[in-house]
Each structure stands twice: as structure tokens, then as C-alpha cells.
């Protein structure tokens, strides 16, 4: 199963070292970053990973950001995955430092919550957005938090604030969705992928009792999940808290088998699934549980 995932990812690599978003598609920043992160935990030859990292480095702007596309400068969320890719090869410290400084200088759009606001979460806590000028959400904040911790910036006040944001956005019954808790008085539902990403980012920096409800939610939800991105993040989140299900490998096999019927999965989703299959190596190697 792992060999099949590795070979499928390798087949998406272009001659310039980047990875296509899907078979036959063009190169993509997020696909390349996640493919490097995943393959770095395998016996992949280091020079092959370096070509992907070099391709990412060529797309880093002077201020440190790594945008999704050159013409979409404000779509900054791939900066954190690019950092994780560079960190996985240990050869790009200057690139990582520039990206970290960019993240520490920028934040989402925030405001003091008023009593009649339709949302229940604390909108004043700073995290990171998908796109500059918009509100902070769970996944980009979780990715930035994880990247900054892996870059040795775990003691920065913005890291502590990101932890506070994720805990504030946790749903009352456990789990996370895209980043709201209640809207117009109605509680929202959690999602496996965002819950897994938040749990990975919080592992080692928050007491288990603060996330036990989310772990319990994910332990039940993952039994029904076979979409590769959701399954991958769910397994990574549980593994980070020493709660990896015994059936994880079988579920990954089922997810791969479904692609014969559904068609090829996106490269980023496959890479997250491979990272989960290899866990606790790779992405989780330096994350406490």
C-alpha cells in the first residue's frame, strides 16, 4: 500500500522537479510542497527532493511569502506547507527563516466581537487567513502554527496566540470545522480534516484534557471516512495524540481502491494520505503527543 502511494506520487513529478496537481495538469505549489513532505519520510533520493524544494524556492517572493500562483500574491496559505517541505530536507534554512518572518509579520483580519455579532467565536484573536485581508481560519492557522514550531519559533507570542485561537474555535462537543463555532445561535458541525489538522498543530503545546472531546469525535468519525484528504488528516491528528486506530492501514487501502472507481485523487490529498500511512515518521517526527 505504501509502495503504491509512493509510486503514484512519483509519477506526478515533472522534469523541473515540481509536482502536478493531478495527472496531466500543470505544476502546483501546494502539490509540490505536500509531495516533498510525504516523500521525505521515504527512502527517496535526497537530490530528487531538492529539485522540488528549489522549484518552491524560485516562487518565494522577496518578503518571504510563497503564494499559490504568481498572480495571486495574497493567497498566502501555501507559505506554511512550503516551509514544512524545506524543513524536511534541512537544506533551506534561509528560505525557512524568510517565510517564518513573513508569517510573524502578517495576520488575518480581526475585530472586537460585539454582543450582537452573528458568530460566537472570539474574532479578536489573531491567526492566519487563506488570503491576506480576510479573517483567520482553522486550517491556515494550524499549518502556520505547525510550520513555525518546526522552524524553531515555538516561543514566539504569535504561536501562543495561534494555540489560543484554535482552542477558542473548538466546537463545544468536540472537533473543528472551517473556523466558526456557532452562527446565529446555531452550533456548527465538525469535519474530520480540519479536526485532524488542528490536533496535529496542538500536539505537545496544549494539555490533552483540553482536546479530549475532539479526539473522541475523531475516533468515531474516522471509521466512516475514506476521502483521502479527510482520512489522511484524521489519522495524522489521532496519531499525534497516541490514538492511532488499529485499522488505519486497512482504511487507507480502501481509500486507494476507491480511486479506481472515482478517478485519480489530487496530488496534495495523496501526499497527506502517504504522510498518514508513514506516521509517526515525517511530519509528526518532531511533534509531541
CA 224 to chain centre: 21
Does residue 93 fall inside a structural domain? yes
Beta bridge partners of 186: 183
Where residue 248 sits, what CATH number does that domain have? 1.50.10.20
Task: Give the pLDDT of residue 287.
Answer: 66
Judge whether residue 288 has pLDDT over 70: no
Q: What is the mean pLDDT of the chain?
A: 95
* Selection from 208, 201, 155, 151 nearest residue 176 by Cα: 201
Judge whether residue 228 has pLDDT over 70: yes
Q: pLDDT for 159-176, tens place per residue? A: 999 999 999 999 999 999
Does residue 286 fall inside a structural domain? no
Does residue 288 fall inside a structural domain? no
Task: Kindly state the average pLDDT of the residues 242-271.
Answer: 95
Tell me the residue range of the domain where 246 lies: 2-281
Report the percentage of the chain scoring pLDDT > 90: 90
pTM above 0.85, yes or no: yes
C-alpha grid cell, residue 236: 495524522
Cβ proximity of 40 and 88 under 8 Å: yes
Judge whether residue 137 has pLDDT over 60: yes
Q: What gap in Å lies between CA 166 and CA 232, rounded to an integer? A: 20
Confidence of residue 289 (pLDDT cuts 50, 70, 90): very low
Place of cell 450582537: 116
Does residue 108 fall inside a structural domain? yes
Does residue 90 fall inside a structural domain? yes
Confidence of residue 23 (pLDDT cuts 50, 70, 90): very high
Does residue 139 fall inside a structural domain? yes
Report the percentage of the chain scoring pLDDT > 70: 99
Does residue 287 fall inside a structural domain? no
Beta bridge partners of 182: 187
Confidence of residue 286 (pLDDT cuts 50, 70, 90): low
Does residue 146 fall inside a structural domain? yes
Beta bridge partners of 187: 182
DSSP label of 264: P
Q: pLDDT for 96-115, tens place per residue? A: 999 999 999 999 999 998 88
Number of domains observed in the structure of the chain:
1
Amino acid at each position: 500500500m505504501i509502495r503504491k502511494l509512493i509510486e503514484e506520487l512519483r509519477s506526478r513529478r515533472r522534469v523541473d522537479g515540481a509536482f502536478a496537481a493531478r495527472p496531466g495538469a500543470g505544476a502546483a505549489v501546494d502539490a509540490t510542497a505536500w509531495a516533498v513532505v510525504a516523500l521525505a519520510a521515504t527512502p527517496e533520493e535526497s537530490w530528487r527532493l531538492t529539485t522540488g524544494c528549489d522549484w518552491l524556492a524560485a516562487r518565494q517572493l522577496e518578503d518571504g511569502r510563497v503564494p499559490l500562483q504568481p498572480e495571486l500574491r495574497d493567497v498566502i496559505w501555501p507559505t506554511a506547507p512550503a516551509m514544512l517541505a524545506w524543513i524536511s530536507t534541512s537544506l533551506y534554512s534561509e528560505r525557512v527563516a524568510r517565510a517564518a518572518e513573513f508569517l510573524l509579520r502578517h495576520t488575518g483580519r480581526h475585530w472586537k466581537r460585539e454582543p450582537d455579532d452573528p458568530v460566537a467565536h472570539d474574532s479578536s484573536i489573531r491567526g492566519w487567513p487563506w488570503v491576506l485581508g480576510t479573517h483567520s481560519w482553522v486550517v491556515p492557522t494550524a499549518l502556520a502554527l505547525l510550520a513555525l514550531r518546526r522552524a524553531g519559533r515555538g516561543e514566539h507570542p504569535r504561536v501562543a496566540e495561534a494555540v489560543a485561537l484554535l482552542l477558542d474555535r473548538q466546537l463545544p462537543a468536540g472537533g473543528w470545522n472551517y473556523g466558526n463555532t456557532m452562527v446565529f445561535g446555531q452550533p456548527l458541525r465538525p469535519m474530520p480534516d480540519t479536526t485532524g489538522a488542528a490536533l496535529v498543530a496542538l500536539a505537545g503545546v496544549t494539555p490533552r484534557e483540553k482536546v479530549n472531546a475532539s479526539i473522541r469525535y475523531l475516533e468515531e468519525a474516522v471509521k466512516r471516512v475514506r476521502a483521502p484528504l479527510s482520512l489522511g488528516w484524521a489519522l495524522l491528528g489521532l496519531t499525534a495524540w497516541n490514538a492511532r486506530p488499529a485499522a488505519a492501514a486497512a482504511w487507507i487501502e480502501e481509500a486507494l481502491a476507491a480511486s479506481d472507481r472515482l478517478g485519480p485523487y489530487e496530488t496534495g490529498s495523496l501526499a497527506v494520505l502517504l504522510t498518514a500511512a508513514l506516521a509517526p515518521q515525517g511530519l509528526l517526527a518532531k511533534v509531541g503527543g
